[in-house]
A and B are shown apart, each in its own frame.
Chain A
Amino acid sequence: MMQDISTYCSATYTWGQFAPAFILVGLAAALIMADTFIKTLPKRAYSLIAAIGALLVACYVYDGEHANAFGVLACLGTGLSILLAYDYTKICCASIAGGTGDEGTGEFYALPLVACAGILCLTQARDLIMVFVSLEVVTLTSYVLAGYFRRNQGSVEAGIKYLVLGAMSTGIIVFGAAWYFGMSGTFLLDASVTIDTLRGGSVGCGTVALGFLMSVALLFVGAFFKVGAAPMHIWIPDVYQGAPTPTTTFLAVASKTAGFALLCALVSPFRPLAVPGIPVADMLITAFAIVAAATLLIGNLGALFQSNAKRLLGYSSIGQAGFILVFFVYLGGRFETFSAMYMLAYTLATAAAFFAVAMVRTQRGSEEISAFRGLGQTNPRTAFLITVSFASLAGVPLTFGFIVKMYSFIALVAAMQSWSCLIWLLPVMIVCATAGFYYYFKIIRAMYWEKPQADDKPLCVPFCTGLVLTLCAITLIIMGTWPLIRAMQ
């Protein structure tokens, strides 16, 4: 069918690219071994070791030769979610071992490291075999983590729902990969392969281009599942609500980073085609605009009526993914940089929000929004820090969330210079950004406007929670005000 496949050759990798992933897997293996053979060490210590390991690897990836923003974000998110598990030990022990003993909780702290290694490989992937294997490392680990609290029906249900829908998206991805190979003769994700195949490959036949577009569409469906874009978002609210809170944090920040790294790898080959008048570019941009609009509407309008804080954050993660997808609508732009920047703002604010939810859950026994009642009176400083993170998610000016949301609007306006028909997306984004103010402020209102009940004691803030809430709030405010200070000078 094609004679010139040898010119593409396979993607080449160096061992150095995967050094951070090897470190993480080694650490995870060491922890699992220690979990089995060293009985005297409390399991809680593993979470601290794993979290510090992940955060150190984040620094290593940041400094390293193969620096990659998504890799840093993945390590940061993993580190934060394991740190959350440290403060969540009481619930972990109760839900895993069925009592106060910590038997069997060791893997819960080590497994996110393996998933993080998968994400690091995904950020380096330049062909579909690597994409598939590293993506499966992430998802298989996530299934285990989502269903880890096996005595808790919600957790098991979340695990099964995630597994069935996730495996379906895996099936769709591999079917897409098979057709990608069939049409282009290679698994390489590269602009030259895309352009050649869209011209009909070596046989110059239009059917080849059509089959290639189908394969790319199937691959996009898989990536949309991972980032939680409509219509592949159905799993998010259920799984986020049912899964253990540390796992939910991992899914919300690290796993979503993996999704956007995958989406960038799949979309990048199409960037040279982003010229008005090329039918493929028009088609792709229209498709992205429709998906982004549907994601924004479903995420933001679905969140309006939620009363469970974890479910609300689930819908919020769909809504935020919609704003990130707008960067991809501007196909010719630097969507990698801007989606990574948006993910940073989202990661910091969402991780802080989940720390707050976990703290309230541990001490007040409920994940409902009403459990945040009266924190403004009982814990004024913590309430302020939580307010900052939710304000950043909503996009209040002077927070990082505002800056990145503004960039999302700027990307759309830039895209409109070439594709003026995209203007219909603007009112959708405005409506959704406004809706965000309503539902994020539900939690802020519960903290400041509702009176604490007579038996509500002030929450005792655990060390890690306090540290993370403070650091996230400070970073969000500094990143939000710094561009203004620069502009004034």
Chain B
Amino acid sequence: MTIPLAHYLIFSGILFSIGLAGVLIRKNILVVFMCLEMMLSAANISLVAFSRAQGTDGIPVYDAQVLSLFIVAIAAAEVSIGLALIVAMFRATRSVDSTSLNTLKD
């Protein structure tokens, strides 16, 4: 028995929505970061599922899997930059809360 494509897509859609909601709602920058990674993982799941579904005779279309590899690599780079910035922010404000980012505003 194979799991139909729709299940993967619904799962990845839910994961993406949770990630997006987390980015918008959560105050702790570290949690916001995890939510950002979740959005990228959701996209990866869709990509791999679509790559299987588009394939013929059990051979997937590898284009999508190539993109998901690129996404993993770039997510890693993004996290390293993000954590460096969070460390700098903690040194400056002694907090990792997004409410402490309040020097720039109208």
Residues of A contacting B23 in the complex (Cβ-Cβ under 8 angstroms): 164, 168
Q: Which residue of A lies closest to B100 (CB)?
A: A157
Residues of B contacting A147 in the complex (Cβ-Cβ under 8 angstroms): 84-85, 88
Residues of B contacting A174 in the complex (Cβ-Cβ under 8 angstroms): 40, 43, 47, 67, 71
Question: Which of A3, A159, A174 has the most chain B CB atoms inside 10 A of its CB?
Answer: A174
- Tell whether B2 is near chain A: CB-to-CB under 8 Å: no
Contact B70 A160 (CB under 8 A): no
- Tell whether A488 is near chain B: CB-to-CB under 8 Å: no
A: which residues have CB within 8 A of B? 1-3, 5, 10, 128-129, 132-133, 136, 140, 143-144, 147, 150, 153-154, 156-161, 163-164, 167-168, 170-172, 174-175, 177-179, 181-182, 185-187, 237-238, 241-242, 302, 305-306
Residues of B contacting A1 in the complex (Cβ-Cβ under 8 angstroms): 53-54
Residues of B contacting A133 in the complex (Cβ-Cβ under 8 angstroms): 70, 74
Count CB-based A-B contacts (< 8 Å): 141
Residues of B contacting A129 in the complex (Cβ-Cβ under 8 angstroms): 63, 66-67, 70
- Residue in contact with B86 in the complex, picked from A10, A160, A167, CB distance below 8 Å: A160
Contact A140 B104 (CB under 8 A): no
22 contacts between A and B (CB under 8 A): A1-B54, A3-B56, A128-B67, A136-B77, A140-B74, A140-B77, A144-B81, A150-B88, A157-B101, A163-B82, A163-B85, A171-B40, A172-B20, A172-B39, A175-B42, A178-B43, A178-B46, A178-B67, A185-B54, A187-B63, A238-B105, A305-B106
State which size class the interface on B falls in. 35 or more
A479 CB, nearest partner CB in chain B, Å: 34
Residues of A contacting B49 in the complex (Cβ-Cβ under 8 angstroms): 182
A129 CB, nearest partner CB in chain B, Å: 5
Please report the C-alpha to C-alpha distance between residue A324 and residue B13 in the assembled complex, in whole angstroms. Answer: 33
| A156 and B92 in contact, given A168-B23, A168-B36 (Cβ under 8 angstroms) | yes
B85 CB, nearest partner CB in chain A, Å: 5
Contact B43 A175 (CB under 8 A): yes
Please report the C-alpha to C-alpha distance between residue A293 and residue B49 in the assembled complex, in whole angstroms. Answer: 38
Question: Which B residues between 9 and 40 are near A, CB-CB below 8 angstroms?
Answer: 9, 12, 16, 19-20, 23, 29, 32-33, 36, 39-40
Q: Which residue of A lies closest to B24 (CB)?
A: A168
In order of increasing CB-CB distance, the 10 nearest A-B pairs are A171-B39, A182-B50, A178-B46, A174-B43, A238-B104, A167-B36, A150-B88, A178-B47, A175-B43, A136-B74
Contact B70 A140 (CB under 8 A): no
B40 CB, nearest partner CB in chain A, Å: 6
Q: Which residue of A lies closest to B39 (CB)?
A: A171
Question: Which B residues between 50 and 75 are near A, CB-CB below 8 angstroms?
Answer: 50-51, 53-54, 56, 61, 63-64, 66-67, 70-71, 74
Residues of A contacting B78 in the complex (Cβ-Cβ under 8 angstroms): 136, 140, 143, 163, 167, 170
B24 CB, nearest partner CB in chain A, Å: 8
Please report the C-alpha to C-alpha distance between residue A181 and residue B77 in the assembled complex, in whole angstroms. Answer: 24
A12 CB, nearest partner CB in chain B, Å: 13
Please report the C-alpha to C-alpha distance between residue A266 and residue B86 in the assembled complex, in whole angstroms. Answer: 34
Residues of B contacting A2 in the complex (Cβ-Cβ under 8 angstroms): 54
Contact A178 B54 (CB under 8 A): no
Please report the C-alpha to C-alpha distance between residue A72 and residue B83 in the assembled complex, in whole angstroms. Answer: 34
Please report the C-alpha to C-alpha distance between residue A159 and residue B91 in the assembled complex, in whole angstroms. Answer: 14
A176 CB, nearest partner CB in chain B, Å: 9
Residues of A contacting B77 in the complex (Cβ-Cβ under 8 angstroms): 136, 140
B73 CB, nearest partner CB in chain A, Å: 9
Residues of A contacting B92 in the complex (Cβ-Cβ under 8 angstroms): 150, 153, 156
A157-B101, A174-B40 known, 14 other contacts, Cβ within 8 Å: A3-B56, A128-B67, A140-B81, A147-B85, A168-B20, A168-B23, A170-B74, A170-B78, A171-B42, A175-B42, A175-B43, A178-B46, A178-B67, A187-B67
Residues of B contacting A305 in the complex (Cβ-Cβ under 8 angstroms): 106
Residues of B contacting A242 in the complex (Cβ-Cβ under 8 angstroms): 103-104
- Residue in contact with B103 in the complex, picked from A154, A179, A181, CB distance below 8 Å: A154
Please report the C-alpha to C-alpha distance between residue A305 and residue B105 in the assembled complex, in whole angstroms. Answer: 13
B59 CB, nearest partner CB in chain A, Å: 12
Please report the C-alpha to C-alpha distance between residue A144 and residue B43 in the assembled complex, in whole angstroms. Answer: 25
Q: Which residue of A lies closest to B92 (CB)?
A: A153
Residues of A contacting B103 in the complex (Cβ-Cβ under 8 angstroms): 153-154, 157, 242
| A160 and B29 in contact, given A140-B77, A174-B71, A175-B16 (Cβ under 8 angstroms) | yes
A282 CB, nearest partner CB in chain B, Å: 28
Contact A181 B64 (CB under 8 A): yes
Residues of A contacting B44 in the complex (Cβ-Cβ under 8 angstroms): 178
| A164 and B36 in contact, given A140-B78, A186-B63, A242-B104 (Cβ under 8 angstroms) | yes
A166 CB, nearest partner CB in chain B, Å: 9
B37 CB, nearest partner CB in chain A, Å: 9
Residues of A contacting B50 in the complex (Cβ-Cβ under 8 angstroms): 178-179, 181-182
A60 CB, nearest partner CB in chain B, Å: 28
Residues of B contacting A177 in the complex (Cβ-Cβ under 8 angstroms): 43, 47, 67
Please report the C-alpha to C-alpha distance between residue A325 and residue B22 in the assembled complex, in whole angstroms. Answer: 31
Please report the C-alpha to C-alpha distance between residue A136 and residue B75 in the assembled complex, in whole angstroms. Answer: 10
Q: Which residue of A lies closest to B13 (CB)?
A: A175
A319 CB, nearest partner CB in chain B, Å: 15
| A157 and B16 in contact, given A132-B67, A238-B104 (Cβ under 8 angstroms) | no
Residues of B contacting A163 in the complex (Cβ-Cβ under 8 angstroms): 78, 81-82, 85
| A167 and B20 in contact, given A156-B88, A182-B54 (Cβ under 8 angstroms) | no
